[in-house]
Structure 1
Amino acid sequence: MTDEFQIDIPPSFMALYVPPGKIKPSLGQRDLAGRYELCEDLANLLTEKAANLQFTLGITEDLVLLQCETGLLTDPAVVTPLEARWVVCRLAELLQWPMDQLLQAPVADAQGSGL
């Protein structure tokens, strides 16, 4: 077994690629693992930046998360709108910030993502 298939992809990320009414992801295991690693890395890389933004600007965690999501979707976007939402939810989880308002907000239009 190779390393790429030993990655534990969380169900919350896997759900991004399982079409409604299906049980199998629309991406292959290798591609899914690659997308997950990218998104997990982004969330981890953003933790310090997000905490600093919140502290220096004196804005709410919700505003920081919204700004991060907007930034992730700026052209040229490397993640889809659904992935961007997952990244900021993961970021909130890592920082132990509430994400109630984030989860209630609509996800950006997938048509404009370029992916």
Structure 2
Amino acid sequence: MSDDYQIDIPPSFFAVYTDARQRLAEPIAVVRARYEVCEDLANHLVQHAQVLHHVEVPSEDEILRRIHDGLNSADAGVSGGEARWIVLRLAELLGWPCPPLGEPGAA
């Protein structure tokens, strides 16, 4: 069977699903699906963060922390590690420095 998956998943996302022995804790199909969700969400949040920056919240750090807090809540639909990765990716897409977010899963 051929693996025709064309999207390169960055090592930083694999790290979200890698255990202490450097093995994936989930099947590759799950990791791929979650990556696509998280990457799409990070890209979707770019415009929201830019609006907040120009209208409501002048601090880039505060915007990223607020988004992280929202994604790190129990009903957000993403894990703590995914929430952290999404905000790091969002900061990268915006060209903003990312504030310390704490360990994955920490609220």
**SS class of match (2:84):** helix
Residue 14 of structure 2: aligned partner: 14
Q: Which runs of 4+ in 1 moved over 6 A?
A: none
Amino acid at match of 2:58: I
Is 1:87 aligned with 2:89?
no
Counterparts of 1:1-115 in structure 2, within 5 Å, are 1=2, 3=4, 5-20=5-20, 22-99=21-98, 101-102=99-100, 105-107=101-103, 109=105
Q: CA RMSD in A?
A: 1.8
Identify if the C-alpha distance between structure 1 residues 108 and 23 changes in structure 2 by more than 3 Å, giving closer, same or farther: closer
The answer to whether the 8 A contact 2:79-2:105 is kept is: no
* Separation in structure 2 between the aligned mates of residue 44 and residue 109 of structure 1, nearest angstrom: 22
| Cα drift, residue 2 of structure 1 | 5.3
How many residues get paired?
A: 106
Unmatched runs of 5 consecutive residues or more in structure 1 = none
- TM-score, normalised relative to structure 2: 0.88
Unmatched runs of 5 consecutive residues or more in structure 2 = none
Percent identical residues: 42
- Which has the larger displacement, 64-73 or 47-56? 64-73
